[in-house]
Amino acid sequence: MWSPPPLWYQSYFDKDYLESHSQYFTQEREVKDTDQIISILKLDPGSKILDLCCGQGRHSIELARRGYQVTGVDLSRFLLGLAEKRAQKEGVNVRFLRCDMREIPFQAEFDAVINIFTSFGLLENETEDQKAVKAVSRALRQGGSFLIDLVNRDWLLANYTAKSWQYEKNGVLRLVERRFDPPTSRNLVHIQRISSRGKTKEKFESVRLYSVHELALMLRSEGLETKSTYGSFDGQEFKIHSARIVAVARKL
């Protein structure tokens, strides 16, 4: 049976990733998400924000455009390269840094840290995830906020689909196989993208899924107290059937 390699996330975020997720990466969504980030965090103008796992800079650039002091951190050289080129092209000032999320080199520097689009739970196990949370807490000033956006494990299991397929905008057929591993609470995914010429590319994912309770406990253990939890970026009340967990924690 197929199984994702341990360090799958080190090479996953490339051109193929962008193409297969293109429906999520629209300017309209960037603006809408950023509106909600600002609304949820209630930050003062000019606040310092760390966009952790910033990818191609979707939120970093939009936040900087609105006057915030933004640092974007990611492990993917490819995505960071795109972010830097776009920021330069649009005349927006963002500090970008390639770094593992467990090793961000900041100490009490930021008013807020954001981690968006299920960019948490990708590491090898809970111990490694905990290191990332510790690094977030260390990077925040006292009273600073951590905004994290994840898929809700309870919703995903209630709506689990073991196999699916769809055609992407470029005509590529995307086949997806999934299996949930209860002992580790990880969602294991095998993706095959088949071009019109029959060429196949494979990718694997292994994401640790968290419940609201588990996430709150992990945050609290690093001095981050959860203050509010939403079921979406629209500020909807979180319920068991909410597709996402959008949590805001405050550094004590």
pLDDT, tens digit, 9 for 90 and up, residues 122-165:
999 999 999 999 999 999 999 999 999 999 999 999 999 999 99
Alpha-carbon gap, residue 68 to 45, rounded angstroms: 6
Q: How far is CA 65 from CA 38, 56, 59, 73, 114, in A?
A: 13, 15, 10, 17, 16
Alpha-carbon gap, residue 98 to 76, rounded angstroms: 7
Beta strand extents in the chain (DSSP E only):
48-52, 69-74, 95-98, 110-115, 140-151, 163-167, 173-181, 186-194, 200-208, 224-230, 244-251
Pick from 184, 57, 58, 50: nearest CA to 129: 184
Strand partners for 59: none
Contacts of 169 (CB under 8 A, 6+ apart): 22, 23
Q: What angle do CA 132, 24, 147 make, to 5 degrees?
A: 35
pLDDT at 20 over 90: no
- Give 73-116 pLDDT, tens digit per residue: 999 999 999 999 999 999 999 999 999 999 999 999 999 999 99
Answer yes or no: are the C-beta atoms of 171 and 196 closer than 8 Å.
yes
Please give the single-letter amino acid code of residue 121.
Answer: G
**Least confident interval from 118-122, 138-142, 197-201, 226-230:** 197-201
Pick the CATH number of 11-151+211-251 from 1.10.10.60, 3.40.50.150, 3.40.50.720, 3.10.20.880: 3.40.50.150
pTM of the model: 0.96
- Both tokens of residue 19? 């193409």
Strand partners for 201: 193
